Structure 1
Amino acid sequence: MSSNKEILLVNRPNDRKIGSHLFETREQDIPSPGKGEILIKQTYMSLDPAMLGWMSEDRESYIPPVELGEVMRSSGVGEVIESNNPDFSVGDKVMGMTGWREYLVSNGEGFNKLQPGITEEMALCVFALPGLTATTGLYNFGEPKEGETLVVTGAAGSVGSIVGQLAKADGLRVIGVVGSDEKADWIVNELGFDGAVNYKTDDLEAKLTELTPDKIDVFFENTGGPIQHHIFNRMNTHGRIVVCGMIADYQSENPAPGPNWIPLIKKRINVRGFAMPDHWGEVPQLVAKLSPYVQQGKIQYRSHMVEGIESAVEGLQMLFSGDNKGKMIVKL
């Protein structure tokens, strides 16, 4: 019988470093679905920055950690290869929380069928966590208005690139913060951003001042890092700051201090942190909001594929080093 590879979390990243020492591979027989269940063969698996938090011991986060000895948590896309559930047929492509494994059995709860014309890659790049996160943060909390200026960090990433494109489609001036000239070129010349700041090489204050002559109304924060303070200092009165992620600090023993709060009072700035688990009940509305932009060709994406479930650790390391170019996906 063919085997099913699973990757278990066996150690906590106490040194905040990601490596093979955190995981263990287990091979078992492919499971069989019971009454009302389906057997899914995973084909594409998503890697996301949130995974570092899921691996930690933090019990006060927005989602419980993965317990030691459990299959590592992730979302993915797969094909139904056996079905004892009338809601699913063999051959259906489905998306949901799959975990780091090649096969899984589910009762179907939490899995959605991919609509015709939606590829696995598009599903994970746009309609999975990246697109849902971008849509939630931008519209629920960013409150973008035509003619305003938005700055998004991690702008070439899976969430940031969609935030910027949605804002551009709505008539905002959009500036993206990235970590390489190649990424700057992509968001400006391919995605249509109005400008880019390379946080590794540019004079941050001077470049940001040049690109935001009317200052900043919406700041969509994905990364943290020194540029956060420069962006904060250029916020307009009644500006909105949406805090989605702080990837620059996730592996730091001493996260950087945030901006001074006095300008929050003077400028009446609204700062809102959010996490998607609070909004799972809104997914149908979020997809309905996002879909027209996709159908009209206003949302482009790119993925960075690595092959084989064994490459998941390598892919996750690339995600945190910034070496990936696009949504990080494991092709199984």
Structure 2
Amino acid sequence: MSSYQSIHLVQRPLTHIEASCFELREHSTHALAEGQFRVKQTHMSLDPAMRGWMSADTDSYIPPVALGDVMRASGIAEVIESNNANFPVGASVMGMFGWTEQAVSDGTGVNIVPPGLPAEAVLAVLALPGMTAAQGLLEIAKPKAGETLLVSGAAGSVGSLVGQIAKAEGLRVIGVAGSDEKCRWLVEELGFDGAVNYKTDDIAARVAELTPDGVDIYFENTGGAIQQVAVDNMNAFGRIVVCGMIADYNNETPSAGPNWISVVKKRLSIQGFTMPDHFDRAPQLMQQVGGYLQAGKLQYRVHVLDGLASAIDGINLLFSGENQGKLIVKL
């Protein structure tokens, strides 16, 4: 009987995520029931949303991870044993398997990954980042060719795809990121029209310089000082899509938001959204994002950590901004 390891949430972080919040456990495998299959996870996604899943907040879009449970995460896995004809041995699958080397499923929420697609491309583009970018930009912001998009966290897994999809749809795109290297990557490789380093630039002056005709869509991933600057530069009837607030995820008290006078004067529309509300559209969204990828309109880069235990400290790279691309654990 073989064994495997998993990481369980045993303590909720107060502010920053500490190693003491997790416990590495060893398990023995057990016989499968009818309709079940066993997977060996090969790649696991680390996402900013995990910080919210670790909190005790039940007033959210998804229940928190219960103390003692395997930490929640999506990943790519190989079916290694099966009593389910829909998931044969050898199939590559994607699902919410958690921080674990192996998992057992009945197929709920699990999808077959088309052959020939690298696992890193699936997690970085077709999975949660791509679906989030497509739903938030195309379905909520409803962009029109010629408009100007400002996106924060632009070098992140979601922000970089939002900007590239917007470029493919004929928009002018300005990204906000946290280093000169990330800003160069946005402009020189992804084709953004400009980039702002929020750590070293005069944010207000730089955004005004790069958006002389104003901002029609602001895609919010981070919060922080860029919020007020974005609102100040919005055009009348502009749309703001609030996808994430990563700058506040580790703060006990959230920072103050923008003044709403401009929201009234400019008749702005603001909508928050989360992907779990739209998982019924997952097949269409993945197909839509896949079309951009096949057409050569999307580039991505990944930051790979090795081994299950690397997730314990590695998750904090998302909040320090040290990750260079989609953060993935290779098992």
Q: TM-score range by the shorter chain?
A: over 0.9
CA distance in structure 2 between the aligned counterparts of 1:60 and 1:218, rounded to whole angstroms: 28
Q: Is 1:151 aligned with 2:144?
A: no
Residue in structure 1 matched with residue 211 of structure 2 by the alignment: 212
Residue in structure 2 matched with residue 50 of structure 1 by the alignment: 49
Residue in structure 2 matched with residue 10 of structure 1 by the alignment: 10
One-letter code aligned to 1:172: L
Query: Is 1:31–1:103's contact at 8 Å kept on the other side of the alignment?
Result: no
> What does 1:170-249 align with in structure 2 at a 5 Å threshold?
170-249=169-248
Query: Is 1:77–1:96's contact at 8 Å kept on the other side of the alignment?
Result: yes
Q: Is 1:94 aligned with 2:93?
A: yes
Query: Is 2:5–2:24's contact at 8 Å kept on the other side of the alignment?
Result: yes
SS at match of 2:86: coil
One-letter code aligned to 2:231: F
Give the 4+ runs in structure 1 shifted more than 3 A: none
CA distance in structure 2 between the aligned counterparts of 1:294 and 1:184, rounded to whole angstroms: 22
Name structure 2 gaps, 5 residues minimum. none
Shift of 1:255: 1.2
Query: Is 1:74–1:97's contact at 8 Å kept on the other side of the alignment?
Result: yes
SS at match of 2:315: helix
Q: Is 1:20 aligned with 2:19?
A: yes
Shift of 1:218: 0.3
CA distance in structure 1 between the aligned counterparts of 2:94 and 2:293, rounded to whole angstroms: 18
Query: Is 1:32–1:105's contact at 8 Å kept on the other side of the alignment?
Result: no
SS at match of 1:309: coil
Residue in structure 1 matched with residue 63 of structure 2 by the alignment: 64
Shift of 1:143: 1.0
What TM-score comes out, normalization by structure 1 length?
A: 0.98
CA distance in structure 1 between the aligned counterparts of 2:58 and 2:301, rounded to whole angstroms: 34
Query: Is 2:215–2:233's contact at 8 Å kept on the other side of the alignment?
Result: yes
Shift of 1:320: 0.9
1:232-251: CA deviation from partner (whole Å, max 9, x where unpaired) = 10000010000000000111
Identity among equivalent positions (%) equals: 60
One-letter code aligned to 1:309: L
Query: Is 2:231–2:263's contact at 8 Å kept on the other side of the alignment?
Result: no
What TM-score comes out, normalization by structure 2 length?
A: 0.98
Instruction: Report the aligned-residue RMSD.
Output: 0.9
Relative to 1, partners in 2 of residues 1:181 and 1:31: Cα closer, same or farther, differing over 3 Å?
farther
Shift of 1:140: 1.4
Q: Is 1:106 aligned with 2:130?
A: no
CA distance in structure 2 between the aligned counterparts of 1:205 and 1:106, rounded to whole angstroms: 50
CA distance in structure 1 between the aligned counterparts of 2:311 and 2:70, rounded to whole angstroms: 13
Shift of 1:184: 0.5
SS at match of 2:309: helix
Query: Is 1:239–1:269's contact at 8 Å kept on the other side of the alignment?
Result: yes
> What does 1:252-271 align with in structure 2 at a 5 Å threshold?
252-271=251-270
Query: Is 1:33–1:106's contact at 8 Å kept on the other side of the alignment?
Result: no
Residue in structure 1 matched with residue 319 of structure 2 by the alignment: 320
CA distance in structure 2 between the aligned counterparts of 1:263 and 1:230, rounded to whole angstroms: 11
Work out the number of aligned pairs and report it. Answer: 331
